[in-house]
Amino acid sequence: MDNHRVTTDSFQQNLDLYAQIKWIILARVVFAIVLIFSSLFFSTEDNLSILSQPFLSLYNVAAAILIMSILYICWLNRKKGLLALAYFQTMVDTVLVTGIIFVTGSFDSIFTFLYLLVIIYASMLLLQKGGFVMATLSSLQYGLLIELEYYRVIPPFMGHYPISINLDETQIIYRIAITIAACFAVAILSGILSLQLKNVRQDLKITQEHLKRVEKMAAMDEMISGIAHEIKNPLASLSGSIQLLKEETQSGSYEDKLMQIILRETERLKQITYDIMLFAKPSKTNASQVDMTQAIEDVVALFLNTLEWKTRIQVFTRLEKNIFVTIDPVHLKQILWNLVKNAAEAIEGTGKIIIGLKSQRNKQIYLTIRDSGVGIDPKTAKHIFDPFFTTKAEGTGLGLPIIHRIIDTYEGMIDFESIPGRGTVFTLVFKNTTPSNGQTPKFGHTTKS
């Protein structure tokens, strides 16, 4: 199973891919133009006709690159199938490189290094897998080209001597082996670097966004908790008095019904003040080591207890086992429940929620809750962590601020990505407190509920 899927965020990936592909198309266009001008320069330098070979062929390659670039730009602007586009264009590039090598003297060509460039940016776009695919393709094409020319299956390009004249088979094999080794060495190295870069960038983004909100919240903090305290006491005497009054009224009477409404609403107010106080000061005193995997499964079971959700929402979990976090279990449950509930409320009709849990290098734990809901538009996105901000008729707007405060207390972080109309993913980062003598975490536990 692909264990990166749990933490990588495909939305972000799409945005990154879009920007990266754009730059690569641009770089390729620049390369084609440089190719044209350098060929012009060299052909006039040597007093050759600009239509002589290999220059003519190089112009053709440059023209092919420019035409393909137009196609790529159209494809890119459709913003669909970006991954396929990335694969397609890098594959085409390996073929173009082989073409350039062929017209510039195959074995003698100085352009073999272009394969390495393609492999490097394939790794940047498509991580290790892309790098390896391109390394394999490059090796095959180069090996075939040289071998076929050596055995005279394909004639050497105009003006070149057949390579079999002054080279023997070992030299050929040696050269091919070196090139293949270089391709794979570059694929491995650039694959590792790209993956590291990606993880670091993701962590950095989460940290930045999180810290920005922490500052914003600190400002509101004292005022809000002050208000909650002021409300709490009068509210307690209010509901106590009503309760006493209610005992004296006849059940079922008009007064009784009114009192019930008052009681229900005071309960709601109490809940809100409780939430606000939790928002203001979550305390770590009840923290203990909690089995995250178990906690998630419990919340999912609870979630599926609600018939309305069970019938329209599918919940998938992809959880690593034996992951422990030091947290108050009540807080953890509050976090999980609020996130799953938000996800469910974002889904109109049927849809799915995917929960992922993964530890990275045993340092941090990544929890992701992904939904196929309505998504969050950029204007709303700025405010979803603001206390009392809600887009729901019945919402309190306290779910996310509370989660934020709780996770802050435990030195964790929260961030999200969303595509309006497609869905949202919330990513939470916890400190890993898995006992080191515990069993090694296993991955690959997939359940569909």
For ligand ADP, the binding residues (CB under 6 A) are 338, 342-343, 346, 371, 373-376, 380, 384, 389-392, 395-400, 424
Supply the minimum distance, in Å, between the C-beta of residue 283 and ligand ADP.
Answer: 21
Buried b (16+ CB within 10 A) or exposed e, 171-188: ebeebbeebbebbbebbb
> Which residue number has the CB closest to Mg ion?
399
Which one, 379 or 448, has the nearer CB to ligand ADP? 379
What is the C-alpha to C-alpha distance for residues 229 and 232, in angstroms, rounded to an integer?
5
Supply the minimum distance, in Å, between the C-beta of residue 421 and ligand ADP.
Answer: 11
What is the C-alpha to C-alpha distance for residues 383 and 99, in angstroms, rounded to an integer?
54
| 390 interacts with, out of Mg ion, ligand ADP, none, CB within 5 to 8 A per kind | ligand ADP
Supply the minimum distance, in Å, between the C-beta of residue 335 and ligand ADP.
Answer: 11
Which one, 78 or 379, has the nearer CB to ligand ADP? 379
Among the listed residues 391, 310, 325, 313, the one whose alpha carbon sits nearest the alpha carbon of residue 358: 325
| 397 interacts with, out of Mg ion, ligand ADP, none, CB within 5 to 8 A per kind | ligand ADP
Q: Which of 106, 342, 418, 432 is in the footprint of Mg ion by CB under 5 A? A: 342
- The stretch near Mg ion (CB under 5 A) out of 204-212, 219-227, 304-312, 393-401 is 393-401
Residues 20-59 interacting with Mg ion (rule: CB under 5 A): none
- Where does residue 59 fall: left (phi above 0), alpha (psi -120 to 50 degrees), or beta otherwise? alpha
Supply the minimum distance, in Å, between the C-beta of residue 83 and ligand ADP.
Answer: 24
Which one, 342 or 427, has the nearer CB to ligand ADP? 342
Residue owning tokens 């928002």: 279
Supply the minimum distance, in Å, between the C-beta of residue 341 and Mg ion.
Answer: 6
Which one, 107 or 385, has the nearer CB to ligand ADP? 385
Supply the minimum distance, in Å, between the C-beta of residue 312 and ligand ADP.
Answer: 15
Q: Tell me: does residue 399 bind Mg ion (CB under 5 A).
A: yes
Q: What's the CA angle centered on 72, arms 68 and 76, to 5 degrees? A: 175
Supply the minimum distance, in Å, between the C-beta of residue 279 and ligand ADP.
Answer: 10
Beta bridge partners of 416: 426
Which one, 197 or 302, has the nearer CB to ligand ADP? 302
What is the C-alpha to C-alpha distance for residues 146 and 213, in angstroms, rounded to an integer?
59
The residues, any chain, with a CB within 8 Å of residue 275's CB and separated by 6 or more, are 396, 398, 402
Tokens at residue 132, please? 């390896």
Supply the minimum distance, in Å, between the C-beta of residue 427 and ligand ADP.
Answer: 12
Among the listed residues 434, 426, 180, the one whose alpha carbon sits nearest the alpha carbon of residue 292: 434
Supply the minimum distance, in Å, between the C-beta of residue 387 and ligand ADP.
Answer: 8
| 162 interacts with, out of Mg ion, ligand ADP, none, CB within 5 to 8 A per kind | none
- The stretch near Mg ion (CB under 5 A) out of 89-97, 154-162, 272-280, 391-399 is 391-399
| 296 interacts with, out of Mg ion, ligand ADP, none, CB within 5 to 8 A per kind | none
| 346 interacts with, out of Mg ion, ligand ADP, none, CB within 5 to 8 A per kind | ligand ADP
| 392 interacts with, out of Mg ion, ligand ADP, none, CB within 5 to 8 A per kind | ligand ADP
Residues of the shown chain interacting with Mg ion in the complex, contacts defined by CB under 5 A? 342, 399
